[in-house]
Chain A
Amino acid sequence: MSLVPLGAFIAVSAALFFIGLGGVLVRRNAIVILMCVELMLNAANLALVAFSRRLGLVDERGSVFVVFVFVVAACEVAVGLAIVLAAYRNRPVIDVDQMAEIRG
């Protein structure tokens, strides 16, 4: 049915995931970190959709699960950006390392 083999999807998904992971670990800009988290979530989504497609009509739960991930990702971004914004209003920095001083 499909011309593209499953392995290709998984490879792209894994690549996206590790790019995101690397970004989260390496970058210091809070906005970029949030974007990288988003990338990781979407990598997972891609894998889920690929498996779902492969299984065809037998099991559509992978596709359904992706919708849940979207919702979670939207919430995560909303909360994350709100925190970053609040921190930025407090002190005009966006570097997560410098935010360390808000700990108790």
Chain B
Amino acid sequence: MTEYVWLIPGLPLAAFALNLALGRYWLGRATGWIASAAVGLAAVLALLVFFETLGAGEGGRTVTLYEWFGVGDLRVPVAALVDPLSAAMLLTVTSISFLIHVYSNGYMAHDRGIHRFFSWMPLFVFFMVLLVMADNYVLMFVGWEGVGLCSYLLIGFWFERPEPYVAAKKAFVMNRIGDWGFTVAMILTFLTFGSVAFHEVFAQVPEVHAQDPAILTAIALLFFLGATGKSAQLPLYSWLPDAMEGPTPVSALIHAATMVTAGVYLVARSTPLFASAGPALLVVGIVGALTALFAATIALVQVDIKRVMAYSTVSQLGYMFLALGVGAPVAAIFHLVTHAFFKALLFLGSGSVIHATEQQDMRKMGGLRRKLPVTYWTMLVAGGALAALPPLAGFWSKDEIVGAAFVNGYPLLWGIGVFTGVLTAFYVTRALYLTFHGVPRDQHVYEHAHESPAVMTIPLVLLAGGAVLAGFIGFPPEAGFVHGFLEPAVAVEGAEHHAPDYLILAGLAATSVVAGLIGIAIGLAMYARRRPDPAAVARAAGLVYTLLVNKYYVDELYDRRAVGLFHAAFGAGWAFDVHIIDGLVNRLGWLMGLVGGGLRRAQTGVVGNYALSIVAGLVLLILVYGGYAAGVFQR
């Protein structure tokens, strides 16, 4: 089966080509089913590959399609690395993509640009799969840039309005900053290791570490810069909330479940590199923890349902980097998988609410649980998973991350993780309560709300199933299926392996659960019983509240400082280009014209002159030749 692994990206690519070529005039809404079928088939193949990898034991297999290019020592094959890590990612990506594609058939049914939507979506799946299964950094970078492109196209899907267009541009530019880090890291990798293939690079890590550990740190940090851009970590996170201007299925697929986890995957894939890279891993952990806390605080006060989810995504991605940083890559990938299920579900649920009410502002909702029962119950499950309530999926993975931070000796990061857990539980409670409970605050919106069609609710139910069950692949903690499966793929040479101490783990789990319950309790107290009243709390918090509502003024800061600085720098670059580069070329052309104009006078058209010049030349030739022959010119 593994030989046919290239069909997994091939099918979505074919769907993309077909929909792009014929979608506009002939296929119309059928594009949605073509794309869904292609991605569904890819998911089935991914499942088969997954099971085969399961039986194959340790190590990975490389499936080479052809050599893309070779320059000197640099050989870049188009080759897939099929190992537990990529197989698990493939399965997650394709199965969630399939559900979201099906859902989109309902959500986008009445959009005029549906053929465009269903061209970019399978293209995105193609690039995401390419990113995940690449066996070298260059091919991974192709997927990395490709998903960025699709993200840009889909955020700006409704480009008739200014906000999506601006948001798309912002996402693209902020990603470029990260991609710069990725590119430089890639070049350094080649210069240091003489290869860009994962297994060749990782095999040489101990050797290079002995000679020059600093270069490893540099490479790791630059890769991490790329990861912060793609995965929306501090300081490059602010594009993700704005990316919510895109259609909701896009937010669910690209900006919650798959693309934004590419950074986590990159770091997890490069675990051997990061583990030997000195302080790099600690930087990853600290950035992750700070992002988790920072984004969660902003999510507390947002009123747009999708923005709450967006900040929540940033926060959860922070948890994943925290896990990577404290040396628990398995927990990071585990959380990536469970998060993909429950966050995709939260987004699709929000999409269902938006579809029903044509509102994104939670202040105008309320009481919708009677109108949208399926959406309500599925989102409740996902919310519970996000708040890490046992036995839902989020509990197992998040608890493992927080636990790993404690066990591996980072009590401060553990504290941040637990505190962020309280905030997470609070904001998800608040969002769900404001949307579905209480009295309808806008009667008009309430009366027109209706449950979504089956094509949308069935994916919700399936994802809810995932949000409940996905956690059990990690049961029992630290010795479950996911650990045994992923451990060989991310194992680092010489890392000590200690048996889990279930007493400590149980204590830590209890702490997390209590933290989650506290958050939910505060949320219910404030929004159900109005004691304390949220408005009063906001007034009491005063400046802090203003700061949070304005998202710490980070966008304004970037606009004023960074963007202004770059404007000045690029203005100078523009002037250099126009006056020096272009000026040089233009002046050279002008000089040629001048010389040509002078020489033009020699062409009199009088045959006698030409004959005379021939004779003059002849005489000169004879004189010079004769002079040489006679030895006049010799010293």
Residue numbers of A with Cβ under 8 A of B are 21, 24-25, 28, 33, 96-97, 99-103
CB distance A100 to B611 under 8 Å? no
A100 x B612 contact (CB < 8 A)? no
Please name the 8 residue pairs, one residue from A and one from B, whose CB atoms are nearest each other, closest first. Answer: A100-B605, A103-B605, A96-B607, A100-B606, A24-B611, A97-B606, A25-B611, A25-B612
Q: Judging by beta carbons under 8 Å apart, are B603 and A103 in contact?
A: yes
Q: How large is the interface on B (under 10, 10 to 19, 20 to 34, 35 or more residues)?
A: under 10
Does B608 interact with chain A (Cβ within 8 Å)?
yes
Q: Most chain-A CB neighbours within 10 Å: which of B603, B606, B612?
A: B606
- In the complex, A30→B604 CA distance in Å? 17
A–B pairs, 14, beta carbons within 8 Å: A24-B611, A25-B608, A25-B611, A33-B607, A96-B606, A96-B608, A97-B608, A99-B607, A100-B604, A100-B605, A100-B607, A102-B605, A103-B603, A103-B605
Q: How far is the CA of A97 from the CA of B607 in the complex (A)?
A: 7
CA–CA, A103 and B615, complex, Å: 22
Considering the chains assembled together, what is the distance between the CA atoms of A69 and B612 in angstroms? 23
Nearest B residue to A26 by beta-carbon distance?
B608
Q: Which residue of A lies closest to B607 (CB)?
A: A96
Of B605, B607, B611, which is within 8 A of A101 by CB? B605
> B residues near A, CB below 8 A?
603-608, 611-612, 615
Beta-carbon nearest neighbor of A98 in chain B: B606
Q: In the complex, how many angstroms separate the beta carbon of B365 from the nearest chain A beta carbon?
A: 81
A101 — which chain B residues lie within 8 A by C-beta? 605
> Interface residues of A: mostly helix, strand, loop or mixed?
helix
Report B-chain residues with C-beta under 8 Å of the C-beta of A100. 604-607
Closest to A28 in B: B608
Q: How far, in angstroms, from A73 to B598 measured CA to CA in the complex?
A: 36
Residues of B within 8 A of A102 (CB): 605
> Are A21's CB and B608's CB within 8 A?
no
Q: Chain B's interface: helix, strand, loop or mixed, by majority? A: helix
Distance in angstroms from B628 CB to nearest chain A CB is 22
**Residue numbers in B under 8 Å from A99 (CB-CB):** 605, 607
Contacts of B612 in A (CB 8 A): 25
Question: Which residues of B are found within 8 Å of A96, using beta-carbon distances?
Answer: 606-608
Contact status of A25 and B615, CB under 8 A, knowing A96-B608, A97-B608: yes
* Nearest chain A residue, comparing its CB with the CB of B612: A25
Q: Determine the residue in chain B with the shortest Cβ distance to A97.
A: B606
Give, as a whole number of angstroms, the nearest-CB distance from B540 to chain A. 90
Chain A residues, Cβ within 8 Å of B607: 33, 96-97, 99-100
**What is the minimal beta-carbon distance from A76 to any residue of chain B, in angstroms?**
14
Instruction: State in angstroms the CA–CA spacing of A33 and B615 once bound together.
Output: 15
Q: Which residue of A lies closest to B618 (CB)?
A: A21
Q: From residue A87, how far is it (CB to closest CB) to chain B in Å?
A: 11
Task: Find the A residue at minimum CB distance from B604.
Answer: A100
Query: Nearest chain B CB to A20's CB is how many angstroms away?
Result: 11
Q: Which of A24, A28, A99: most chain B CB closer than 10 A?
A: A24
- Complex: A97 Cα to B612 Cα, angstroms: 14
Smallest beta-carbon distance A15→chain B, Å? 17
User: Considering the chains assembled together, what is the distance between the CA atoms of A33 and B603 in angstroms?
Assistant: 20
A7 smallest CB distance to B (angstroms): 19
Q: Which residues of A contact B606 (CB under 8 A)?
A: 96-97, 100
A85→B606 CA distance, assembly (Å): 18
Known: A21-B615, A99-B605, A103-B603. 16 other contacts (CB 8 A): A25-B608, A25-B611, A28-B608, A33-B607, A96-B606, A96-B607, A96-B608, A97-B606, A97-B607, A97-B608, A100-B604, A100-B605, A100-B606, A101-B605, A102-B605, A103-B605
In the bound complex, how far is the Cα of B604 from the Cα of A24, in angstroms? 17
Whole-angstrom distance between the Cβ of B550 and the nearest chain A Cβ: 72
Q: How far is the CB of B100 from chain A (nearest CB, A)?
A: 69
Shortest Cβ distance from residue B618 to the other chain A in the assembled complex, whole angstroms: 9
Contacts of B605 in A (CB 8 A): 99-103
Distance between Cα atoms of A33 and B611 in the complex (Å): 10
Q: How far is the CA of A102 from the CA of B608 in the complex (A)?
A: 15
Residues of chain B within 8 A (CB-CB) of A97 are 606-608
Chain A residues lying within 8 Å of B611, measured Cβ to Cβ, are: 24-25
Chain A residues with CB under 8 A of B615: 21, 25
Residues of chain A within 8 A (CB-CB) of B608 are 25, 28, 96-97
Cα A96 to Cα B611 with chains together (Å): 12
Nearest CB in chain B: distance from A81 CB, A: 15
Residues of B contacting A33 in the complex (Cβ-Cβ under 8 angstroms): 607
Instruction: Chain A residues near B603: list those with CB within 8 A.
Output: 103
Interchain CA distance A102-B606 in the complex, whole Å: 10
A31 to B605, CA, bound (A): 18
Report the bound CA distance from A97 to B611 in whole Å.
12
Cα–Cα distance between A24 and B608 once the two chains are bound (Å): 8
Q: Report the nearest B residue to A95, measured CB to CB.
A: B607
Nearest chain-B residue to A36 (Cβ)? Answer: B611
A28 to B603 alpha-carbon distance, docked (Å): 18
CA distance A25 to B612 in the complex (A): 6
A28, B609: Cα distance in complex, Å: 12
Complex Cα distance, B607 from A99, in Å, reads 9
Chain B residues with CB under 8 Å of A21's CB are 615
CB closest residue in chain B, given A99 = B607
In the complex, A100 Cα to B605 Cα: how many Å? Answer: 5
Q: How far is the CA of A99 from the CA of B609 in the complex (A)?
A: 13
CA distance A24 to B612 in the complex (A): 9
A21 → B minimal CB distance (Å): 7
Report which residue of A33, A99, A100, A102 has the largest number of chain B beta carbons within 10 angstroms of its beta carbon.
Answer: A100
Complex: A59 Cα to B605 Cα, angstroms:
43
B-side contacts of A24, CB under 8 Å: 611
Residues of A contacting B604 in the complex (Cβ-Cβ under 8 angstroms)? 100
CA distance A28 to B607 in the complex (A): 9
The minimal Cβ–Cβ distance linking A80 to chain B, given in whole angstroms, is: 11
Cα A25 to Cα B604 with chains together (Å): 15
* CA gap between A6 and B42 in the complex, in Å: 97
Smallest CB–CB gap between A53 and chain B, Å?
A: 25
CA distance A99 to B608 in the complex (A): 11
Q: How far is the CA of A101 from the CA of B607 in the complex (A)?
A: 11
Q: What's the least CB distance linking A37 to chain B, in Å?
A: 10
Q: In the complex, A101 Cα to B611 Cα: how many Å?
A: 17
The minimal Cβ–Cβ distance linking B529 to chain A, given in whole angstroms, is 97
A49 to B605, CA, bound (A): 36
B212 nearest CB across to chain A (Å): 68
- Taking the nearest CB of chain B, how far is it from the CB of A16, in angstroms? 16
Residues of B within 8 A of A28 (CB): 608
Complex: how many Å from CA A25 to CA B608? Answer: 6
> Smallest CB–CB gap between A54 and chain B, Å?
21
Bound-state CA distance A97–B615 (Å) is 18
User: How distant is B607 from chain A, measured CB to nearest CB, in Å?
Assistant: 4
- A35-B511 Cα distance, complex, nearest whole Å: 116
CA distance A90 to B50 in the complex (A): 87
